[in-house]
Amino acid sequence: MSQPPFIPVCEPYLCGKELDYVKEAITTNWISSSGSYVTRLENEFASYVGAQHGVTTTSGTTALHLACKALELGPGDEVIVPNFTMIASAFAVCYTGAMPVFVDSEAETWNIDPNLIEEKITPNTKAIMVTHIYGHPCEMDTILQIAKKHNLKVIEDAAEVHGATYKGKPCGSLGDIACFSLFANKIITSGEGGLITTNDKVLFDKCRYYRNLCFPLDGPRNYVHEDIGYNYRLPNTLAAIAVAQLENIGQLIERRIANAHCYQEMLKEVPGLRFQPKLDHATNVYWMVSCCVDENQFGCSRDQLMVDLKSRGIDTRKLFYPMHRQPALAKYGCAVEGQYPVTDKLSVEGLYFPSSSGLTRDLISYICDQIKEVHNKYK
Ligand SMILES: *Cc1c(COP(=O)(O)O)cnc(C)c1O
């Protein structure tokens, strides 16, 4: 294959009726959040993950914030949060005034290590937030057991796992409340957007209440507000895109999984690359094709591999930077050396390769050839 133009790490794959639905939103003059694609998306996505209620929001981040608000988290409360996650998980807790308390990952799946949770629980702990990382569900049975024992709520940050299942049950229906992102690089997208799913009618109502400036859910619009709320309403034009994406979610997930299998197969002879695994009782929807680079075996560091691939027109990204090292979170006093060895290792060795749903086998083969050439150069 001749050298293709620059290959991004991820781009949307708009392969269905996205344009038709956006056009309909515009021609019918329904572009605000009151349009019918918004309720359609809420109902259809909730039903897709086997939850009773769905709430759209403007982003995964605002979905997480609403979930924390709905659980009445606030100053003085502590929330268990994975140390290896996207920053929005921790920020959502901070927005409420509660304190995130970080827990290291398990080495195999990179998800929060359930064995390390209980030692971080105090009388102030109110909830456990889990992030199903890079497409693989967390060890939910153990986590739910701990939550039950200590009377804690469970929030799933499911931004990276649309359609993944744990022991046959979909992520988004496993805890008390779950949050998804519809950002452009997620498995289904509306460009920007978010979704909450829950089986709890009270949480459902609170999410809708806080999302809409605490206007009363029923009753007259007399502009009297009992609480401080937010405007996190998703417009109909964007919901239209996500409804079209949801119609193709099966194909979009299959393509992500096929990407991962392709890379794993084509690179299986290359030493020093350890891909995120899939455990027997779970599906991995491989939001991103991510792996760790063992410098000694591979021949060069993760960082050098990224530089070399970039010069060959291939974009990659580092895996997340640990929460306990985030300057923004320094006041939570968790920069303890050696307390998070798994996360520290992931942040030094981990990266993901181009992972768009629209990638072809030929293109992945080209990328893998380039990775092999880099390995041969340094080995
Ligand atoms: C993408 C992502 C978010 C944030 O979603 P936005 O829609 O970008 O606000 C939160 N958590 C995780 C784990 C994510 O991957």
Residue 166: what pLDDT? 98
Give the pLDDT mean for 299-316.
Answer: 98
Exposed, middle or buried: residue 321 (CB in 10 Å: 0-12, 13-18, 19+)? Answer: middle
The residue whose C-alpha atom lies closest to atom 6 belonging to ligand 1 is 60
Average pLDDT, integer, range 146-162: 98
Q: How confident is residue 221, by pLDDT bands cut at 50, 70 and 90? A: confident
Residue 85 CA to ligand 1 center (angstroms) comes to 9
Confidence band of 346 (pLDDT split at 50, 70, 90)? very high
276 within ligand 1 shell (Cβ under 6 A): no
Q: How far is the CA of 218 from the centre of ligand 1 (A)?
A: 31
Residue of 153, 186, 206, 278 marked catalytic? 186
What average pLDDT does the segment 224-245 reach? 97
pLDDT at residue 334 tops 70: no
Amino acid at position 220, single letter? P
pLDDT at site 335: 63
* Residue 359 confidence (pLDDT): 97
Residue 101 reports pLDDT greater than 80: yes
Residue 219: pLDDT above 80?
no
Q: Answer yes or no: 318 catalytic.
A: no
What is the spatial distance between Cα 171 and Cα 154, in angstroms, rounded to a whole number?
12
The confidence score (pLDDT) of residue 338 equals 81
Atom of ligand 1 at shortest range from CA of 85: 13
Does any ligand 1 atom lie closer than 6 A to the CB of residue 61? yes
Q: What is the mean pLDDT of residues 149-172?
A: 98
326-333 own/partner pairs: CB under 8 Å, 24+ apart: 326/87, 326/90, 328/87, 328/91, 329/90, 329/94, 329/100, 332/99, 332/100, 332/101
Q: How confident is the model at residue 117 (pLDDT cuts 50, 70, 90)?
A: very high
Q: Is residue 74 scored above 90 in pLDDT? A: yes
Kindly give the distance from the C-alpha atom of residue 84 to the centroid of ligand 1, in angstroms, as a whole number: 13
**Contact 85 CB / ligand 1 (< 6 Å):** yes
